[in-house]
Structure 1
């Protein structure tokens, strides 16, 4: 019997501002060292995402938080920091017992995975986590890097920056070269080339978590030519194939590292910000990927011209290639018209917007929704306001799941806007950066520095809105929207007074149910 509910794929890219995608029409984007450029050679080329955005739709102004941890918390819970307490990567509320970070699945038991599961979906998580994983209802996963691998020796790979004590002082060493690094960095495992990969509940394994490669064949094939984003997609496609055979709808939460800067293990002395990807080319109809050929050891490598130079534009290009692979796999499985594909990102680009409270530099991200079998009433660019918290209630609507009225959700489902003649989605959007709040409507924006902007028109760089210094020089509608926004965000402004989890945690919540 054929499934009734559509499959859902949510591709959540890392540290990519809306301006990095050509469809957003920005005159400025990021060069290989970070910052700003208008040099065409550093602009991404995304023919597939362009097509999906035009045949489906894309949102002109979608917001996340300013940095990854709080944004992922918003995505996973559909809530803001006043509830989940993840104010910033380095500023997270303590658990009720006063020790450790409050887990998202404890603060917000109706997570995005739990919602999908309640709707009858098989669930898969691939890529980056940045959080404890035990309490989310994902059936399977492929984590890159593997959980707990940041300072762990794994026999298949030494692409790892680790802390060592030298003369009583902690220093960071490259385990591959066995040399101390002097460029500013942090402890990290490789998630691009020769990556640290861990599988969760993979069929045929008798452990909840296993390191990959976990077979003799996989270990033989694994090495310098293994690219982490490719591994993720291989396991995602394996999962999709199995679930399609079982006629079970699936939810894939693909939290790609692509877009995130990292230590370039293939070029350890280069100072590269974004490691290269396998070289790809678009011939107008299809992508061709050059098979990687990397040789060497101990920090001295030759890519033989098969790996791109550094730059976020190459990461965005490779995401476009992976989206093309997704579309081909959906067609191969015969489910292209029964799958909803969502592409978005967690915060602004590193070296430009990431962790910035200025204007909407840190919060403005791309959002593309492609659902050919859903009969969307909206096509192409939509000049509406959307928040990453909206994804959870949207998925709940798709899955026909009822979220109890007593359980606070800050997001709003996009389904009424996408499938009816509704003209707008929401009146305001919200972000946060530590103790500061960022909010905007259709006319005004308040950033994390309490600077106000007139956003009634969009500048060419998507960011240089005129500042409002004299409220008598703007319209009454501007002033009224300002007053409404300030009233709206009052309830969220509790960083100083209710920073941590409630002493006794949260009260028992009503369960999720299917809509009647």
Structure 2
């Protein structure tokens, strides 16, 4: 049987469906995979534009047209004429906020059936003044979603199939030859800055290193080099020894806790300038840039001294309060910064600095990517929390995986902390808008005051399993193409929004934001983007301008898979006991596995090997190494690549009628795709439950997915994404020679003669 997925442009692993997983149907609706491949009645959206319209320069660092900035965020004096113009800009400024790992389940406006959800009055007030999109899909992991937002392209085109970790080579990161959003906006005179979590790749194997955001067209970046917050520091800046192997840390949250009151301890607070202040709450101490002082046994120091402060190593990262950042300004060497400040607060400070440095008359887009609420979970500063926020007296402070708690239900503690983290992020969004001059405080919410600024807030993927809120499904959340893994909040308010305080239920994909931002800037997106960069983004600006705008998307799509790794073979079985799952395609080492609460089995290259051994039991499922989902708004088809030990025993298809799935009524007409609602629930994928309408929908969705994937076939040897293999590729491969690059086709860590041979073998010349 032919593969359902062909290899992607960048060589991500191929996904196949075993022959016995053709859908077995009744006589009235019998078809095979071959018949599905023949069904070509659907027309894919036009990707428009011609190759001669605009191309990304074929150089090591593709040229950008946005102005260079100095380290303080001010524009270089060599601005273009458009950027030197005076007066109010005719194109709206854009504030774009991405909240990490915050699915629709976490917000009352998107999960009206939720219980004890975080308070988010700023986001609620934006919904009241804007458009709330209630039917938005992201990718199941952060990197594929963020790359889709910044390129308008699905993962099978970009090669970014999963979260980019340090093992991801350049061909599993956003390519420097992508026509990214800042390159698009620069054609309309926009300047762009990115602050906070970026994660369109990873600096470890990227040839651009810490400045790889510049290599993707972002002239200014100030944010974390990581995909999440730093690990929590259980040594409290090396004042205490690290816990011995197999021993629980005394303080898992990175600050001392008073066991008698179950609250942050009151202690002396030391500062990097070697001063101290006595009598501070430990979290308050971290929030103002200090470190709670303790002795070597962990006992809080009540009265500070020079000797006590001298024992503190202020360079040690600690979750959200002490974090490493990278300042990467185009044309300058990236610099590393260690900041003692709550991460969202730091992001907003840097965003405000960058915004204030933009010259009058120049339109700009500022993206702020909060790390909140990615794990590890950590309490937020009290000044950013609702006035009535109190930590439950019976709820322990368990912020990370602890020995002795692996099998305990620590979800309530983690949910309590994510409530704080989301409320804190919400408050900082408000501060960004108010101090930026775009809004005024109105109670705990905001009232927008600037008619020339568009505000967009979105989540990048579903919530992580332990903190998922009912009725969403914690066992099929972040990392899964199920509803709980891909449904995200999106609200748009401000410039150009007509008839505010309304909801749009039409299908939207986070890739559509690329098209939206281009259209807001009055750019003909498909005429500007090179034709070789096939776009999946669809227009959504009509939803802002017209309350009666018709739906644009006929289908929505999401996908995850396995990134390439270097060196190959780094993955092993990692069992996440709290989620009853095993993965061998996400975590490239024991440390990352264990930081996510998993148990690493170094002797087993696959979950199937581990299951067959019986060493870890068998009461857990296996995360599919690759999966996709497609929907027409009502019916949803999921196709999974099955691990070897499940082929022949598990159906690779799942098919749902979301209108009748669990909790559909409570969630506005689309339920959650729990396995109990799967209409193809047995090994043979029998469709005896399907109506004629459902059978027809299955055929349409299956055909659409196959046609879509077929549109992304690679051109062998084309490393610069221009659709041909010619002298430009020869020039580029020589430019990257000797190290990692997107031209390392055989993934051996070197761009060399073997890769040059692929270019020569694929030579097409330019038409």
State the distance in 2 between where 1:93 and 1:194 align. Answer: 25
1:364 lines up with 2:470 in the alignment: no
Moved more, 135-144 or 189-198: 189-198
Alpha-carbon offset, residue 507 of structure 1: 4.7
CA separation of 1:473 and 1:75: change in aligned 2, threshold 3 A? same
- Equivalent pairs, count: 423
Alpha-carbon offset, residue 237 of structure 1: 0.6
Alpha-carbon offset, residue 370 of structure 1: 0.9
Alpha-carbon offset, residue 388 of structure 1: 0.7
Contact 2:155 2:560 in 1 (8 A): no
Runs (5+) with no aligned partner, structure 2 = 1-86, 202-211, 253-315, 390-413, 440-447, 466-473, 562-625, 641-652, 681-685, 725-767
CA separation of 1:314 and 1:404: change in aligned 2, threshold 3 A? same
1:23 lines up with 2:93 in the alignment: no
Deviations along 1:148-187, one digit per CA (max 9) or x if unpaired, are: x99xxxxxxxx7679xxxxxxxxx99974552675899xx
* Aligned equivalent of 2:381: 278
Normalising by the residue count of structure 2, what TM-score does the alignment of the two structures yield? 0.50
CA separation of 1:502 and 1:342: change in aligned 2, threshold 3 A? farther
Among 637, 662, 666, the residue aligned to 1:446: 637
CA separation of 1:92 and 1:423: change in aligned 2, threshold 3 A? farther
Superposition pairs of residues 78-97 of structure 1, within 5 angstroms: 78-89=152-163
Moved more, 418-427 or 275-284: 275-284
Point out the structure with the larger strand share. 1
Superposition pairs of residues 31-50 of structure 1, within 5 angstroms: 38=115, 40=116, 43-50=117-124
Contact 1:93 1:102 in 2 (8 A): no
* Aligned equivalent of 2:93: 7
- The SS at the match of 1:129 is coil
* Aligned equivalent of 2:622: none
* Aligned equivalent of 1:508: 722
Among 405, 408, 412, the residue aligned to 2:538: 412
Normalising by the residue count of structure 1, what TM-score does the alignment of the two structures yield? 0.72
Contact 2:385 2:423 in 1 (8 A): no
CA separation of 1:357 and 1:259: change in aligned 2, threshold 3 A? same
Superposition pairs of residues 104-503 of structure 1, within 5 angstroms: 104-106=174-176, 109-130=178-199, 131=201, 132-145=212-225, 176=238, 177=240, 179=242, 190=318, 192-201=320-329, 207-212=332-337, 223=340, 226-243=341-358, 245-262=359-376, 274-279=377-382, 280-282=384-386, 311-331=417-437, 336-351=450-465, 352=474, 353-357=476-480, 359-371=482-494, 373-377=495-499, 379-404=501-526, 406=531, 407-420=533-546, 421-434=548-561, 435-449=626-640, 450-456=653-659, 458-460=664-666, 462-464=671-673, 466-469=677-680, 476-493=692-709, 502-503=716-717
State the distance in 1 between where 2:517 and 2:387 align. Answer: 35
- The SS at the match of 1:438 is strand
CA separation of 1:509 and 1:447: change in aligned 2, threshold 3 A? closer
Contact 2:214 2:329 in 1 (8 A): no
CA separation of 1:507 and 1:44: change in aligned 2, threshold 3 A? closer
Runs (5+) with no aligned partner, structure 1 = 29-37, 151-158, 163-171, 214-221, 263-273, 288-307, 511-516
- The SS at the match of 2:461 is coil
* Aligned equivalent of 1:301: none
Deviations along 1:18-40, one digit per CA (max 9) or x if unpaired, are: 01001113424xxxxxxxxx4x2
Alpha-carbon offset, residue 3 of structure 1: 0.6
- The SS at the match of 2:549 is coil
State the distance in 1 between where 2:549 and 2:525 align. Answer: 22
- The SS at the match of 1:357 is coil
- The SS at the match of 1:468 is coil
